[in-house]
Amino acid sequence: MAEVTVSQLAEVVGAPVERLLRQMKEAGLKHSAAEQVVSDEDKQTLLTYLKRSHGESADAPRKITLKRKTISTLKTGSGASKKTVNIEVRKKRTYVKRDPAELAAEAAAEEARQQEALEAEAAEVEAVAEVVEEAPVTEVVETTVETVAEVAEQTAEPETKEEPVAEEPVAEEAPAVETPAEEPAETVKEVAEAAPEAAEELKTEPEESAAIEIDPEVLRQRAILRRKEEEEKEKQRRAELLAKKKREEEARAEKEKRERDSAADAKGKGKKDDNRGPRHMREAPKNDDDSPRRRGSTKGRKSRDDFDDGFGDDRQGGRRRKKTLKLPEDAQRHGFQTPTDKIIYEVNISETITPTELASQMKVKAAEVIKELFKMGMMVTINQALDQETAQLVVEEMGHKVKLVSDTAVEEALEETLTSHGEGTLLPRAPVVTVMGHVDHGKTSLLDYIRSSRVASGEAGGITQHIGAYHVETGHGMITFLDTPGHAAFTAMRARGAKSTDIVILVVAADDGVMPQTEEAVAHARAAGVPLVVAINKMDKEAADPDRVKNELAAKDVIPEEWGGDTQFVPVSAHTGDGVSALLDAVLLQAELLELKAAADVPAQGLVIESRLDKGRGAVASILIQSGTLKQGDIVLAGQCYGRVRAMLDENGKPIDTAGPSIPVEILGLDGTPEAGDNFVVVENDKRAREVADFRQHRERENRIKRQQAAKLDRMFESMAAGERKTLNVLVKADVRGSLEAIQASLLDIGNEEVNVNIVSGGVGGLTETDVNLAMTAGAVMFGFNVRADSSARKLAENEGVDLRYYSVIYDLIDDVKQALSGMLSPEVREEIVGIAEVRDVFRSPKFGDIAGCMVVEGTVYRSKPIRVLRDDVVIYEGELESLRRFKDDASEVKNGLECGIGVKNYKDVRPGDKIEVFDVKEIARSL
């Protein structure tokens, strides 16, 4: 159709209407609505615009790669060994679009090269012309004659080249020699013959010889023709070489074919001659030089010496047999000789070593080492770690030398490398202050006021659950703060905070007083030898009593300065900000007394505060630099992890390039998440970092195996003594390493002699499908602390019925685990006596047997409850009632003071005076 609307055209080309209208507007068309008609001229205009815009676009691809894959089948073998092989052939072809500017540049360069060549030739021609002008007259004449002759030969037509040179006219082909006007033009032959006479005439008439000149253009044409002739000769030489090589290859192929035919004939002839007699009686074939060899004559063939390459090819039987190279006698002897004596090795023994490693160093099998240990009375496995003394005895028993090496040689080498940098220039640094105290006493709120932020409002449950590090610029100087959790489960975190700090701010609520975690913080600070500054918080409340806080802390040997002690007490309010300035002054005053200094011109060292696994960025470690300067690109070794610092961020998430002492930063680029509390250092190269990290991982693995073996042995004896314990298997994943450590420690503390918690696996990061499979195998409950499972893991857990729970507050997780363990406890069984009947007489009944006539003297006797028969207050039988009757009627119960008849089931020795005790068994649920 000739004319269509804009919407119809968009549907045909498969483009949105808005984009098509925008392109038409850019092309200069006046279409603005989808219902407007587009003519053929408009289409052509739009097409021209699009072609021009696409051709001029800089984003157009300059390289296109086409890939093609074909699969074919190849059948090999036959019969039972027939196989089918799939062959996949991949082809790739790349097309490159050359830039017009680049092509123009290449053309300009080629033109410049040609121009330079022409200028060089012109310079050469001018030099020749100068030489000719300066030469004597005789030489000028001779050179002119030669030049005319050569130009005539090169410029002649092909059909005239076979004719004599004397017949070619010189006037038309080479007008290079200018003669006087009165002299007629001469041929080349006449000029050559007349050259001596002309020279004589020129000697006598020098004024006439000046008229003879050589045109430079002729010389330039001569040089061009000579270069073309050389190129033609080179092409002809290459063609001859190729033809010669081709003829040689054809001759070689023909020769090999004749040799194969001769070999086949010789083989067939040998089979026919096999019946002639034994092989040693046959006559050897003649191989004289003048006799024909096998088939045909050797005439015209190359001799064996022509093909000699040092190994001497033998062509007996038509085959090319390679002769062995003759070597000297000493070189022909075998290189290996069986040792006559036992080889004694020097075995390096560290503090711990396995039998496998010992066997490897002694060049024996591990079974021999195990056998020697059995002889010594030690039952060990192949991978069990041996101490240094035991390993030394084994090596000496097997006849080898012992070399005791330190197990920390790698660590010592690292320490030597670090100390080689020197202490550097010591400069004053900012103090590192840790805020500690009981939960909900206002630690984070006080820090928020100092930082003018709102961290506490974003914490789950309103409590801090990991160490937060911040450095702030105050009017009193820069201070780095570490905020530690106050919950009981985070004891290890508080201990790390006390060890990595210079000053501890102990926050105590004025309305609450000293609490358990307050006492623990004081103990941690004393163990680390860190001075205390007490902040009495919540002074804005009506129930605030600072004297109570001072008295309770004085009882813990924390004496205020006004009482003669050495601890500063500062009343503050995190809500109103009262006393915060005084608190900062007290901190800086304490820092001045400590005279804190650090070097900034050495490689960085510090402490890992926290680490986590980020889905988009990988392993992220929060570190506190204690000395030196950390730069982006440094090689960092942190515990068992190492890597290059790819990016460095401050506490606000802003990228930075360097960080000095007392600055907390986050680094990216480690190969894993280091443990919280590990030391980090900057090393010189990847090799040293990898070596130390591998050593630490190996040592940790050995220690873990030792702990597991010891735990198995202890658990075996415990189970033998107290029976099998019930175990709750759990799998824990947390957001940061510190929270994971606190959760694992709290879960392992829960339990008693009947139930306990077994942590199947723990890690940092989200829950994956692998974790779900592990939980299915171990029958474990999955806990996610501030992390979530991905879609595949969640779907698998739902299909397999794996219990998956999420938590954001640690005490909620601990409470749920306690409830689960309480449900696993065996209920407590209690017996309650509900009635006692005294036997007065025994009656014989032919239908029911012996019936005891009783009087209920206490409580109520029930028919459905268990009983005991007591004689002289000693239990002689325990069972149940067979019948309970009052007079002639059956009764379900008989109360106190009434008579009844009781039949005891499966017991016939009831006597008067016995007591029948009726009791009830109640199960009471237990809890941890």
My answer on whether 606 and 701 are in the same domain is yes
- Asked if residue 549 has pLDDT above 70, the reply is yes
Residues 6+ apart with CB under 8 A from 815: none
More confidently predicted of 703 and 143: 703
483 is in an annotated binding site: yes
Query: Cα separation of 23 and 19, whole Å?
Result: 6
My answer on whether 373 and 492 are in the same domain is no
- Asked if residue 635 has pLDDT above 50, the reply is yes
My answer on whether 22 and 146 are in the same domain is no
Q: Quick one: CA torsion of 69, 73, 76, 80, rounded to 10 degrees?
A: 140
My answer on whether 850 and 802 are in the same domain is no
- Asked if residue 890 has pLDDT above 50, the reply is yes
- pLDDT given for residue 837 in this prediction: 93
Residue at a domain's end among 792, 824, 856: 824
The model's pTM is: 0.46
- Structure tokens belonging to residue 349: 């023994």
> If pLDDT is split at 50, 70 and 90, which confidence band does 917 have?
very high
- Asked if residue 678 has pLDDT above 60, the reply is yes
My answer on whether 396 and 415 are in the same domain is no
- pLDDT given for residue 267 in this prediction: 62
- Tell me the pLDDT tens digit for each residue of 471-488: 777 776 788 888 776 444
Question: Which own/partner contact pairs does 82-89 have at CB distance under 8 Å and 24+ positions apart?
Answer: none
Sign of CA dihedral 344, 348, 349, 355: negative
- Stretch 594-623: mean pLDDT, rounded? 86
My answer on whether 218 and 120 are in the same domain is yes
> If pLDDT is split at 50, 70 and 90, which confidence band does 527 have?
confident
- Tell me the pLDDT tens digit for each residue of 9-45: 888 888 888 888 888 888 888 888 888 888 888 888 8
Contact 246, 175 (CB under 8 A): no
- Structure tokens belonging to residue 398: 């097997």
- Asked if residue 376 has pLDDT above 60, the reply is yes
- Stretch 597-605: mean pLDDT, rounded? 87
Highest mean pLDDT: which range of 304-308, 569-573, 596-600, 742-746 = 569-573
Contact 792, 799 (CB under 8 A): no
- pLDDT given for residue 869 in this prediction: 92
- Tell me the pLDDT tens digit for each residue of 436-460: 888 778 887 888 888 775 444 445 5
441 is in an annotated binding site: yes
Range of the structural domain that residue 611 is part of: 409-425+598-722
The candidate with the shortest Cα–Cα distance to 38, out of 67, 10, 71, is: 10
- pLDDT given for residue 563 in this prediction: 86
- Asked if residue 138 has pLDDT above 90, the reply is no
Contact 675, 604 (CB under 8 A): no
487 is in an annotated binding site: yes
- Structure tokens belonging to residue 447: 């820090």
- pLDDT given for residue 312 in this prediction: 44
437 is in an annotated binding site: yes
Is the residue at 637 inside a domain? yes
- Stretch 592-596: mean pLDDT, rounded? 85
User: How would DSSP label each residue in 555-622?
Assistant: TTT--BGGGT-SBEEEE--TTT-TTHHHHHHHHHHHHHHHT-EEESSSB-EEEEEEEEEETTTEEEEE
User: Which amino acid is residue 472, in one-letter code?
Assistant: V
Share of the chain above pLDDT 90, in %: 9
| Of the candidate ranges 210-224, 567-581, 745-759, 838-852, the one whose mean pLDDT is the lowest | 210-224
444 is in an annotated binding site: yes
- pLDDT given for residue 78 in this prediction: 64
The mean predicted confidence, pLDDT, of the chain is 75
Strands, DSSP E only, in 776-914?
781-785, 804-807, 828-845, 849-859, 861-862, 866-871, 874-886, 889-890, 893-894, 899-904
- Asked if residue 867 has pLDDT above 70, the reply is yes
443 is in an annotated binding site: yes
Residue at a domain's end among 569, 595, 621: 595
Is the residue at 98 inside a domain? no
- Asked if residue 918 has pLDDT above 90, the reply is yes
Contact 645, 667 (CB under 8 A): yes
439 is in an annotated binding site: yes
- Stretch 385-397: mean pLDDT, rounded? 88
540 is in an annotated binding site: yes
- pLDDT given for residue 125 in this prediction: 61
Query: Cα separation of 275 and 262, whole Å?
Result: 21
> If pLDDT is split at 50, 70 and 90, which confidence band does 732 have?
very high
- pLDDT given for residue 856 in this prediction: 92
Tell me how many domains the chain contains: 7
Is the residue at 101 inside a domain? no
- pLDDT given for residue 839 in this prediction: 92
- pLDDT given for residue 15 in this prediction: 84
- β-pair partners for 374: none
User: Which amino acid is residue 549, in one-letter code?
Assistant: V
Is the residue at 459 inside a domain? yes
**Rg of the chain (C-alpha set):** 53
- Structure tokens belonging to residue 287: 């191989």
Residues 6+ apart with CB under 8 A from 299: none
My answer on whether 527 and 416 are in the same domain is no
Is the residue at 205 inside a domain? yes
My answer on whether 448 and 553 are in the same domain is yes
With b for 16 or more beta-carbon neighbours within 10 A and e for fewer, the 753-785 pattern comes to ebbbbebbbbbbbbbbbebbebbeeeebbbbbb
888, exposed or middle or buried, with CB in 10 Å at 0-12, 13-18, 19+? Answer: exposed
- Asked if residue 282 has pLDDT above 60, the reply is no
| Of the candidate ranges 130-144, 478-492, 765-779, the one whose mean pLDDT is the lowest | 130-144
My answer on whether 914 and 772 are in the same domain is no
13 is in an annotated binding site: no
Share of the chain above pLDDT 70, in %: 73
Length of the chain: 928
735 is in an annotated binding site: no
My answer on whether 466 and 519 are in the same domain is yes
440 is in an annotated binding site: yes
Whichever domain contains 556, its CATH number is: 3.40.50.300
Highest mean pLDDT: which range of 212-226, 396-410, 608-622 = 608-622
- pLDDT given for residue 165 in this prediction: 37
Listed in sequence order, the DSSP H helices in 57-184 are 100-134, 137-155, 170-173
My answer on whether 543 and 639 are in the same domain is no
> If pLDDT is split at 50, 70 and 90, which confidence band does 715 have?
low
- Asked if residue 431 has pLDDT above 80, the reply is yes
485 is in an annotated binding site: yes
My answer on whether 434 and 564 are in the same domain is yes
**3-class DSSP assignment, residue 400:** coil
Contact 606, 626 (CB under 8 A): yes
> If pLDDT is split at 50, 70 and 90, which confidence band does 815 have?
confident
Is the residue at 758 inside a domain? yes
Is the residue at 325 inside a domain? no
538 is in an annotated binding site: yes
Query: Cα separation of 821 and 726, whole Å?
Result: 9
Residue at a domain's end among 547, 566, 595: 595
Is the residue at 770 inside a domain? yes
- pLDDT given for residue 129 in this prediction: 54
- pLDDT given for residue 177 in this prediction: 37
Whichever domain contains 872, its CATH number is: 2.40.30.10
- Structure tokens belonging to residue 49: 């615009």
- pLDDT given for residue 336 in this prediction: 53
- Stretch 679-702: mean pLDDT, rounded? 86
Query: Cα separation of 468 and 651, whole Å?
Result: 9
163, exposed or middle or buried, with CB in 10 Å at 0-12, 13-18, 19+? Answer: exposed
